Amino acid sequence: MSLSRRAFVRRLGLGSAGLASASFIIGHGREELVALGFEDLELEAAMQRQRAAVPPDAIKLSSNENLRGPSPRVIEVLKQHPSADLGYGYPVPSRGAFTQALATAHNVEPQHVITATGSGAILQAAQRAYVTDSRPLVSGNPSYMRAAERSIPVNSDLYLDLDGMVDASDGAGLVFLCNPNNPTSTIHTLSDIETAVRTIKRRSPDTAVLIDEAYIHYATAPGVGSGDQLSVELPDVFMTRTFSKAFGMAGMRMGYGIGQPETLQRLRQAWGLGSINELQSVAGIAAIEDTAHMEWERQENKRIRDWTLSQFQEIGFGAPASQTNFIFVELGSPASEFREACRANGILVGRDFPPMEQTHARISLGRMEDMQRAMEVFKKVLET
Ligand SMILES: Cc1ncc(COP(=O)(O)O)c(C=O)c1O
């Protein structure tokens, strides 16, 4: 068992037998297993056990993946890319063009772009590069990066408490700003993020700031914007994004970040970020270029989100006005009971999000037909 996993297990009060049990594995999605320190083969084995225990027609609304999948242009490119090119690996022929496409999309230079096999790898690198016992992590609570020594509770509207996080950042190694925040689904304007980042850097210049924009494509609120330019301007400030959500390519394992070359070098040296291959490169370029598909994806997600939120409202359950492809519903009862009841009816919803696991559940948004089927189950489970 890895060191980090042992520490997590201790914190959770679980023995390794408890960890291996089917019910433990089922109750914990991929992100939870990664957080627990499951790696590579172990993670794959755990995920396979998880898949085997789930009915084949279950609807998966648990990991914020995208049930619509990628743009048809991505599928087309993957089918057509000449296989002979795959024989050239050093350097990967289309990788430079992929980095350039990302740079163009963000209006930065290729030297400001870092790629990884999943943005989760960059988050790992960030912790290893910047967080030590004496220079702790500052994160929202709940948020995607957990086990932070300085966990700042979200406010009563479930927004990150930016002022509280700024106050906690003096002498910190890393501040994690998840915008929009997973699991609460709320987002801050670019102007609020910029004020927070500049204040942190003024008060504590050596503190790094990670702006995680995994879900930002889904944000439709006014004033929302990317921290990309801020990341190019300020040392040890960087933004990360993923192809796993709005691009619908979680299975391709692709993510990237934007920052100053020195910042990105520090991340590369801290942790293996994986190597983007030829098929990932051509698929990534096609995905970035298909802006019409992304606009459709945003609108479709919003349509489904509005419908799902109004359905919950009708039966008396509130949730923040989500800016993501998931909602965080106030059940007023433990998420674990809701999760088990839904699972028994073929619907998988998100894991526990302490400290709100006694009151709130996270539900990812699938396709409209998935949500219509799921809503029948939610109503049955919540109204009995
Ligand atoms: C906020 C956030 N950041 C990063 C990730 C990691 O995504 P990936 O490693 O698939 O790119 C996730 C995955 O769920 C996430 O929710």
- Regarding whether 323 and 272 lie in a shared domain, the answer is no
CA distance 297 to 177: 24
What ligand 1 atom has the least distance to the C-alpha of 116?
Answer: 11
What would the mean pLDDT of 166-176 be, rounded to a whole number? 98
User: pLDDT at residue 27 above 90?
Assistant: no
Choose the weakest-confidence range: 8-12, 120-124, 201-205: 8-12
Q: Which band of pLDDT confidence, cut at 50, 70 and 90, is reported for residue 87?
A: confident
Q: Which ligand 1 atom minimizes the distance to the CA of 255? A: 11
Whether 346 has a pLDDT exceeding 90, the answer reads: yes
Report residue 54's pLDDT band, with 50, 70 and 90 as the boundaries: confident
Least confident of 48-62, 102-116, 121-135, 208-222: 48-62
Q: What does the mean pLDDT of the chain come to? A: 90
Do the beta carbons of residue 226 and residue 262 sit within 8 Å? no
Flag whether pLDDT at 208 surpasses 50.
Answer: yes
Last residue of a domain, one of 240, 266, 289: 289
**Residue 384 banded pLDDT, cuts 50, 70, 90:** confident
Q: Which residue, by CA, sits nearest to atom 2 of ligand 1?
A: 214
pLDDT of residue 81: 84
- Asked if residue 79 and residue 65 are part of one domain, the reply reads no
Q: Are 183 and 274 members of one domain? A: yes
Percent of the chain whose predicted confidence (pLDDT) is above 70: 88
Indicate whether 112 and 196 sit together in one domain: yes
CA 374 to ligand 1 center in whole angstroms:
24
| pLDDT class of 252 with cuts at 50, 70, 90 | very high
Average pLDDT over residues 96-104: 98
Over residues 297-308, mean pLDDT: 98
Measure 384 CA to ligand 1 centroid, in angstroms.
34
Domain of residue 317, CATH code: 3.90.1150.10
Question: Which domain covers residue 63, as residue numbers?
Answer: 3-69+293-383
Confidence check: pLDDT of 44 > 80 = no
Q: Rounded to the nearest whole angstrom, what is the distance from the C-alpha of residue 245 to the centroid of ligand 1?
A: 8
Least confident of 52-61, 256-265, 271-280: 52-61
Domain count, the chain: 2
Nearest CA residue ID for atom 3, ligand 1: 214
In the chain, beta strands by DSSP E: 59-61, 113-116, 137-141, 150-153, 174-178, 208-212, 237-242, 255-258, 326-330, 347-349, 360-364
Separation of 157 CA from ligand 1 center, angstroms? Answer: 23
Report CA(124)–ligand 1 centroid distance (Å): 11
Q: Are residues 76 and 221 in the same domain?
A: yes
Give me ligand 1 centre to Cα 31, in Å. Answer: 8
User: In the structure, what pLDDT confidence band is assigned to residue 206 with cuts at 50, 70 and 90?
Assistant: very high
Q: What are phi and psi of 238, to 5 degrees?
A: -150, 150
> What letter represents residue 112's amino acid?
H
- Rounded to the nearest angstrom, the distance between the alpha carbon of 242 and the centre of ligand 1 is 7
Is residue 9 very low, low, confident or very high in pLDDT (cuts 50, 70, 90)? very low
* pLDDT top residue among 35 and 167: 167
Residues 48 and 76 grouped into a single domain? no
Q: What is the pTM (predicted TM-score) of this model?
A: 0.89
Nearest one of 106, 81, 104 to 94, comparing CA atoms: 81
Q: Span 56-76, mean pLDDT? A: 95
Q: What pLDDT is recorded for position 174?
A: 98
What's the pLDDT score for residue 21?
A: 43
Indicate the pLDDT class of residue 24, thresholds 50, 70 and 90.
Answer: very low
Looking at residue 31, its pLDDT comes to 64
- Ligand 1 pocket: which of 33, 43, 63, 144 to mutate (most atoms <8 Å of CB)? 144
Same-domain pairing of 173 and 40:
no
Contact between 31 and 123 (Cβ < 8 Å): no
CA distances from 375 to 6, 193, 218, 347, 349 (A): 38, 35, 21, 10, 12
Structure confidence at residue 15 as a pLDDT band (50, 70, 90): very low
Q: Of all atoms in ligand 1, which is nearest to the CA of residue 181?
A: 1
| C-alpha radius of gyration, the chain, whole number | 20
Task: Among 289, 305, 329, identify where a domain stops.
Answer: 289
Name residues contacting ligand 1 (CB within 6 A). Answer: 31, 64, 118-120, 123, 144, 178, 182, 212, 214, 242, 244, 250, 255
**In this structure, what CATH number is given to the domain that contains residue 137?**
3.40.640.10
The pLDDT of residue 30 is: 62
How much distance in Å is there from the Cα of 110 to the middle of ligand 1?
23
Residue 23 has pLDDT above 90, yes or no: no
CA 13–ligand 1 middle distance (angstroms): 26
pLDDT band at 335 (very low <50, low <70, confident <90, very high): very high
Test site for ligand 1: of 182, 186, 239, 326, most ligand atoms within 8 A of the Cβ: 182
Assess whether pLDDT exceeds 70 at residue 29. Answer: no
User: Does residue 118 share a domain with residue 52?
Assistant: no
Mark which of 240, 263, 289 sits at the end of a domain. 289
pLDDT at site 6: 43
Q: How far is the CA of 166 from the centre of ligand 1 (A)?
A: 23
pLDDT at 243: 98
Looking at the fold, whether 106 and 224 belong to one and the same domain comes out as: yes
pLDDT confidence of residue 36: 62
Distances (CA, A) of 35 to 146, 272, 336, 363: 8, 17, 18, 19
Same domain, 97 and 243: yes
pLDDT higher than threshold 60 for residue 14 = no
Q: Which atom of ligand 1 approaches the CA of 182 most closely?
A: 1
Tokens of 10: 């201790």
Nearest ligand 1 atom to the CA of 121 is 9
pLDDT at residue 7 tops 50: no
Q: Which atom of ligand 1 is nearest to the CA of 254?
A: 11
248: left (phi over 0), alpha (psi -120 to 50) or beta: left
Let me know: does 236 contact 206? Beta carbons within 8 Å.
yes
Answer yes or no: do 64 and 76 share one domain: no
Query: Do residues 242 and 369 both lie within one domain?
Result: no
